[in-house]
Amino acid sequence: MAKSPQDSRKIVVEPGEVPFVLESAAAHDVTVHRDQLRGIEPVSTVILTLFGVVTAVSTVQHLLEQRRGGQLIDLRPGAEVLFRRTRDLMYGIVVVIAVDGKVTVEVKEPEGMFGKVIATLPRLLPTGGSAQQVVRTVSGTFGSDVSVAETKDDGT
């Protein structure tokens, strides 16, 4: 009988995510090694290494991404937090708040594309940009991999 391919991956999590990772890893027969804590108080992260069968390690990593939810990008001048993951949005959804409205981006195949979209968008979108600029940029960059809906802020 052939042995299943093994994998190890380092992940960076917030301290509050550690129990979820440990529980998910145990359920999928993945071993977790806590490497180190990094950061400056009050913001710190934990580096964990996952060890196990490739598919199990990938599953634990994907479950963590789903748990983190969608991405919120606030382009309005003076926004306190420009980019953040939030469980208020479903995994695979990106909401961009522009100066004149809101753009909702739904990633059609989130398991393969969501990370790429949320890593790329912050570099492409100008602070203070309009909803129409966001629509053009997202549609032009990701094409049919995403669907884009614009909601204008008309004061109602």
- Maximum Cα interatomic distance, the chain, rounded to a whole number of Å: 66
For the record, the structure tokens of 83 come out as 């980019």
pLDDT in tens, 124-141: 887 787 888 889 889 999
pLDDT value at residue 19: 96
> Mean pLDDT throughout 71-89?
88
User: Higher pLDDT residue, 72 or 78?
Assistant: 72
Residue 90 has pLDDT above 90, yes or no: yes
Rounding to the nearest 10 degrees, give the CA dihedral for residues 127, 133, 134, 138: -130
Mean pLDDT of the chain: 87
Residue 25 has pLDDT above 90, yes or no: yes
pLDDT value at residue 130: 87
Angle (CA) 133-89-143 rounded to 5° is 40
For the record, the structure tokens of 150 come out as 């614009």
Q: Which residues pair with 149 in a beta bridge?
A: 104
For the record, the structure tokens of 53 come out as 């069968």
pLDDT value at residue 156: 39
Burial class (CB in 10 A: 0-12, 13-18, 19+), 92: buried
User: Higher pLDDT residue, 120 or 87?
Assistant: 87
3-state SS class at 137:
helix
Using CA atoms, how far residue 88 sits from 14, 91, 155, in Å, is 17, 9, 23
Close Cβ partners of 75 (under 8 Å, ≥ 6 residues apart): 82, 96, 97, 98, 99, 125, 126, 127, 128, 129, 134
pLDDT value at residue 71: 93
Q: What DSSP line would sit under 79-127, residue for residue?
A: -S-SEEEETTS-TTEEEEEETTEEEEEEESSHHHHHHHHHHHHHHHSPT
